[in-house]
Each structure stands twice: as C-alpha cells, then as structure tokens.
C-alpha cells in the first residue's frame, strides 16, 4: 500500500483525480501507480482527502463531478485506490511527523497515515517531499 497526498487545496489538481483523468502527474508518480495497479497492490487515500475534495468543489476549484469520480473509484474493489480511514492509531503516528517539517494539519494527517502504514506518500507538495518521509513524485 502507498499513500496519496491530499493536496486538493493547491492551485493544481493532482493525486487520485489526476490519475483517474490521466493529467498533472509526474512521470514517476504515474509509473508508480501503474506498477501498483499491474501488481494488484492498493494505493490508499486518506479520509481527509475526501473532505478536501468537497471543500474545493464548494470553492469552485474542482468540478462538481470530482467527488463522484473519486468515490466511484474507491467503491470499486478492483480499482488501485482504497480509502485509509483516519484513526486514533494514525493520530498517534502524527507525533512522528515534525510540525516544523509539515506544518499544515491536513498534510500532517496524510503524512501520519504514511508513517503508520510505513509506505511512501505520492506527493507534489514541496514540504512533504522535503520532510523526513518516504515520498514519490
């Protein structure tokens, strides 16, 4: 399992929706996702990402169909993406993500999810990539 960053708040749309639409992913990130799909491994999306999609739709920064696209992908057991629920155990893992490295709360939640599962974060976010985390971009 890998963890997708939740940077839906950024001016660019990337991550799960970008993959579904095949746009704005780095070649390394797309290759990583394709490899996981071919090997039938899952890539997790933190629950906070779903909330951020709703928020960005409300701000007219994502199309209204974005939430449905993502939830349809998550509902499909054959799809590469799966949801990683934000749990108390992941909250505990947040203590291992220095606030100085990842100051934004939603980003810390995603980073903590990756720490908890001991997997890389697929992220375009510069702070996440500069942090002491395993990342792909």
For residues 30 and 73, what is the distance between their CA atoms, to the nearest angstrom?
16
> In a structure prediction context, what are the per-residue pLDDT tens digits for the chain, which is 137 residues long?
555 554 332 222 345 656 555 557 788 988 888 888 889 999 999 999 888 889 889 999 888 888 888 898 899 998 888 999 999 999 999 999 999 999 999 999 999 999 999 999 988 889 999 999 999 98
Query: What residue ranges do the domains of the chain occupy?
Result: 2-136
**Cα 27 from Cα 94, distance rounded (Å):** 29
| Per-residue burial over 40-55, b = 16 or more CB atoms within 10 Å of its CB, e = otherwise | eebbbbbbbbbebbee
Instruction: Please tell me the class of the 2-136 domain.
Output: alpha beta
Phi, psi dihedrals of residue 65, rounded to the nearest 5°: -75, -10
């Amino acid at each position: 399992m890998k963890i997708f960053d939740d940077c839906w708040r950024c001016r660019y749309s990337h991550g799960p929706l970008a993959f579904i639409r095949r746009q704005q992913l780095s070649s390394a990130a797309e290759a990583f996702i394709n490899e996981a799909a071919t090997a039938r491994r899952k890539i997790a999306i933190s629950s906070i990402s779903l909330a951020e999609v709703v928020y960005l739709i409300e701000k007219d920064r994502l199309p209204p169909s974005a939430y449905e696209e993502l939830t349809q992908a998550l509902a499909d057991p054959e799809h590469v993406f799966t949801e990683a629920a934000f749990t108390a155990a992941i909250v505990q893992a947040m203590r291992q993500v220095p606030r100085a490295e990842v100051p934004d709360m939603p980003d810390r939640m995603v980073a903590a999810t990756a720490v908890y599962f001991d997997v890389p974060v697929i992220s375009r976010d510069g702070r996440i990539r500069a942090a002491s985390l395993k990342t792909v971009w």
